[in-house]
Amino acid sequence: MLEIENLHFSYDGRQTLKDINLEAKEGEFWGILGPNGSGKTTLVKLINRVLKQSAGSILIDGQDIRNLSHNEIARHLAVVSQVFSINFEFTVEDIVMMGRTPHIKKTETAEDFEIVRDALEKTNTAYLKERFVTQLSGGELQRVVIARALAQKPSILLLDEPTSHLDITNQIDILNLAKNECKKGTLVVAVVHDLNLAAYYCDKLCLLRDGELIVKGNPAEVLTKENVHNVYNLPVEIITNPITNSLNVVPLLEPLP
């Protein structure tokens, strides 16, 4: 479980997050939405304790993150960032084994190798295990990073724009992976830019604007014409996709000249 209470954050004297409150439970898929500069990535960094809040509290599985070491946080929470690059010639298997670091006391065990093998299979990257990560495509690398996160065996999987810079096939593959983890009880919290993918995959959404949480709830409660226009300054129509039965946000664009 993730509990955020009265969270504030200021940077160089400027308040960038204001009074954020959120409770997300096991097995839920939460999407964090909002325009550029709304505070989405800042919120992710606060949850992962890369940044320290100015006020308020963040609890992971009932424990205040301020009382946890980074290693202890890593036993509960795994993060997949929007940008991941490495210039050293580690193999894919080496990278995924790094996800076991919070759990390894002296050296890797047979259990660690079994967990890594399972993570590689889940992400369809087992065939890459001996390949150097410097030789991978963007989509392959992102799946490897997710495999590393799964190898941590987290109760919370935190995704910061996991599908940015990826083609539609890789976007769907990665979101399907995240949804499958939800079905096994993992809480997934993802920063998502595509409102329609968020409506399809997420159980709950929160919509940020200028560092404030404007609305939270299920997709039908959050993705209304009024909310989207208010936050994105864009007139839209909300329809139900007849094939997926999920909401679709349709921008009302002026005809091209």
Phi, psi of 120 (to 5 degrees): -65, -40
Domains in the chain: boundaries: 2-89+156-169+179-251
Query: What pLDDT shows up at residue 135?
Result: 86
At residue 111 the predicted structure's pLDDT band, cuts being 50, 70 and 90, is: very high
Q: Give CB contacts under 8 A, 24+ apart, made by 249-256.
A: 249/195, 249/196, 249/199, 249/223
Question: Is the model's pLDDT at 169 over the cut of 70?
Answer: yes
What integer is the mean pLDDT of 164-172?
83
Q: What CATH number does domain 2-89+156-169+179-251 carry, 3.40.50.300, 1.10.4100.10, 1.10.10.10, 3.40.50.2300?
A: 3.40.50.300
Percentage of the chain with pLDDT > 70?
98
Query: What pLDDT shows up at residue 83?
Result: 64
What integer is the mean pLDDT of 24-46?
93
Query: What pLDDT shows up at residue 203?
Result: 95
CA quadruple 34, 37, 40, 43: dihedral sign: negative
Question: Is the model's pLDDT at 152 over the cut of 90?
Answer: yes
What is the full DSSP assignment across 24-65? E-TT-EEEEE--TTSSHHHHHHHHTTSS--SEEEEEETTEEG
d(CA 206, CA 29): 11
Query: What pLDDT shows up at residue 256?
Result: 67
* pLDDT tens track for 32-42: 999 998 999 89
Question: Is the model's pLDDT at 108 over the cut of 90?
Answer: no
Beta strands at 29-33 and 204-209: parallel, antiparallel or unpaired: parallel
Q: Residue 62 in contact with residue 237, Cβ under 8 Å?
A: no
Query: What pLDDT shows up at residue 60?
Result: 92
At residue 25 the predicted structure's pLDDT band, cuts being 50, 70 and 90, is: very high
